[in-house]
C-alpha cells in the first residue's frame, strides 16, 4: 500500500508542478513575453525544468516517509489522554 500511495502522490504532484511551471515559464520567458532580458529567459527555463524534475520527487519522498511511520502525527493542540 505504501508503494501505491507514494506513486499516486508522485503522479499528482508531477501534474500540478508541470502545469504551474509551464504557465509560469510561458509568461516569464515565452517567445512574446518580453518581461525578462533574453539571457534570463534561459535561466527561467532551466529553473522550470528543474522544478518539474525535483519537486515531485521531494513530495513523494515526504509521503513515503510519512506513510512509513505507521500512523499520522497528531498535530492537534489538544493533549493526548491516557
**Per-residue pLDDT tens digits for 4-57:** 989 999 999 999 999 999 898 888 877 777 777 878 888 888 898 899 999 999
Within-domain flag for 54: yes
- Domain holding 8, by residue range, is 2-68
Residue 34 lies in a domain: yes
Q: Tally the domains of the chain.
A: 1
Say if 77 falls within a structural domain.
Answer: no
Q: Residue 39: exposed, middle, or buried by beta-carbon count in 10 A (0-12, 13-18, 19+)?
A: exposed
Report if residue 15 sits inside a domain: yes
16 domain residue, yes or no: yes
Say if 76 falls within a structural domain: no
pTM: predicted TM-score of the whole model, two decimal places: 0.69
Residue 60 has pLDDT above 90, yes or no: yes
Residue 79 covered by a domain: no
* Residue at 48 is within a domain: yes
Q: Is the pLDDT of residue 82 over 60?
A: no
The vertex-38 CA angle with 33 and 44, nearest 5°, equals 75
Amino acid at each position: 500500500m505504501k508503494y501505491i500511495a507514494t506513486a499516486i502522490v508522485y503522479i499528482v504532484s508531477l501534474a500540478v508542478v508541470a502545469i504551474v511551471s509551464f504557465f509560469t515559464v510561458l509568461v516569464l520567458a515565452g517567445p512574446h513575453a518580453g518581461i525578462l532580458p533574453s539571457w534570463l529567459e534561459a535561466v527561467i527555463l532551466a529553473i522550470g525544468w528543474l522544478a518539474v524534475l525535483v519537486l515531485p520527487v521531494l513530495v513523494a519522498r515526504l509521503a513515503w516517509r510519512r506513510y512509513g511511520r505507521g500512523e499520522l502525527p497528531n498535530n492537534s493542540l489538544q493533549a493526548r489522554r491516557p
